[in-house]
Amino acid sequence: MAPHDLAGVPAQAPAQGERETRTPIKGVRKFTAAAMVSSAFTAPHVTEFLTVDVTPTMELLAKLKASRAFAGYKLTPLTIVAKAVLIALRNHPTLNTRWDEAKQEIVQYNYVNLGIAAATPRGLTVPNIKDADRMSLLEISTALTELTDTARAGKTAPAELSGGTISITNIGVFGIDAGTPILNPGEAAILALGAVRKMPWEYQDEVALRQVMTLSLSFDHRLVDGEQGSRFLQDLGAILSDPGMALAMV
C-alpha cells in the first residue's frame, strides 16, 4: 500500500535509505492551516463538555428509519443533532454571531448556515448548509448526504465553504469521545459530537446500560459568556436526552 501524507493523498514512496519524506504544503491543507492558526490566536476559545444519555434519541432514530416517511433517506445521529442545534439556537442567538474587528461591531446572523466538518482526500473542509434553520428534518437529511458526498468527491464549490455561521464536527465516527474543536473564522461556536457508547448510567434511580454521548462546545468568549454557552449546551442535552423537549423550545 502506498504511503499517504497528512491530507490522505498518496505520497511518493521514499527512496531506500531515506529517513524522512517532505511534502509541499499547498491547496486545501494550506488554506485550512492558515484559517485555524488565525482563529486559534484571534478568538479567545472556551470549551465546555456535557455527557448525555442519548438513548431516547437513538430510539427515535430507529423509529424514523423504519417509518415510511423516511424510506430511502440516510439518517444518522448527526442528522438529529443538527436539527437539535438549530432548535436550541432559537433561544441562544449569541452563539450565531460574528466579531467584526475592522468595524468594531458584533454581527448577529438572522439565519443559520450550518457548517459540517468533512474529512476528504484533500484534507478537512467545512462546507455549510445554507439557511439550515428553515429546513425540516427530511431536508436536513438530504442536505447532509449531498454535502458529505460532494466533499468526499472533492467537488465542493468555494461558495459552499464560505459564509458559515456555526459548525458541527462529528469526531465520534472515529471512535473519539471528546475534544476541543477550534472555531472556524467568522463563527462564534463549534460543537463536537463524541461516539455513542453503551455505558452503565443512572436511570430512574437505578443503574442501567444506556447509550451515552459527550458533547464538546467551543465558543468565542468575546461573544458568548460562560452562562450563555452553558445554557445552550444544557438545552441541547435536554433535547437529545428527551426529544419531546424540542416542543417546548419552538
What is the spatial distance between Cα 223 and Cα 201, in angstroms, rounded to a whole number?
35
Q: Give yes or no for residue 199 having a pLDDT over 50.
A: yes
d(CA 202, CA 59): 18
pLDDT band at 198 (very low <50, low <70, confident <90, very high): very high
Run of H or E including 9: none
- If one looks up domain 46-248 in CATH, what number appears? 3.30.559.10
Please give the pLDDT value at position 12: 55
Under 8 Å between Cβ of 127 and 118:
yes
Element (H, E) at 35: helix 27-42
pLDDT at 63: 96
Ranking 36-40, 173-177, 186-190 by mean pLDDT, the lowest is 36-40
Residue with cell 437513538: 58
Residues in CB range of 119: below 8 A, 6 or more apart: 8, 152
Residue 191: the pLDDT is 98
Q: What is the pLDDT of residue 23?
A: 73
Confidence of residue 40 (pLDDT cuts 50, 70, 90): low
Q: State the Cα–Cα distance between residues 235 and 201, nearest whole angstrom.
A: 20
The mean predicted confidence, pLDDT, of the chain is: 87
- Polymer length of the chain: 250
Q: How do the domains of the chain map onto residue ranges?
A: 46-248
Q: Evaluate if residue 77 carries a pLDDT over 80.
A: yes
Neighbours of 6 (CB within 10 A): 11
The answer to which of 58-62, 145-149, 159-163, 242-246 has the lowest mean pLDDT is 159-163
Output the pLDDT for position 54: 98
Residue 237 has pLDDT above 70, yes or no: yes
Question: Mean pLDDT throughout 44-70?
Answer: 95
pLDDT at residue 169 above 70?
Answer: yes
99-148: pLDDT as tens digits: 888 898 999 999 999 999 987 777 778 999 999 999 999 999 999 999 98
Q: Identify the CA nearest to 51 among candidates 204, 174, 211.
A: 211
Is residue 45 annotated as a catalytic residue, yes or no? no
Q: Is the pLDDT of residue 206 over 80?
A: yes
SS3 for 210? strand
Q: How many CB atoms are located within 10 Å of the residue 214 CB?
A: 20
Q: What is the predicted pLDDT for the residue at 41?
A: 56
- Relative to beta strand 114-116, strand 123-125 is unpaired
8, pLDDT greater than 50? no
> What pLDDT shows up at residue 29?
61
Report how far residue 151's alpha carbon sits from residue 144's, in angstroms, rounded to the nearest whole number: 11
SS3 243: helix
Provide the percentage of residues in the chain whose pLDDT is more than 90: 64
Q: How far apart are CA 241 and CA 248, in angstroms?
A: 14
Q: Tell me, what's the pLDDT at 159? A: 82
- The one catalytic residue in 4, 45, 92, 221 is 221
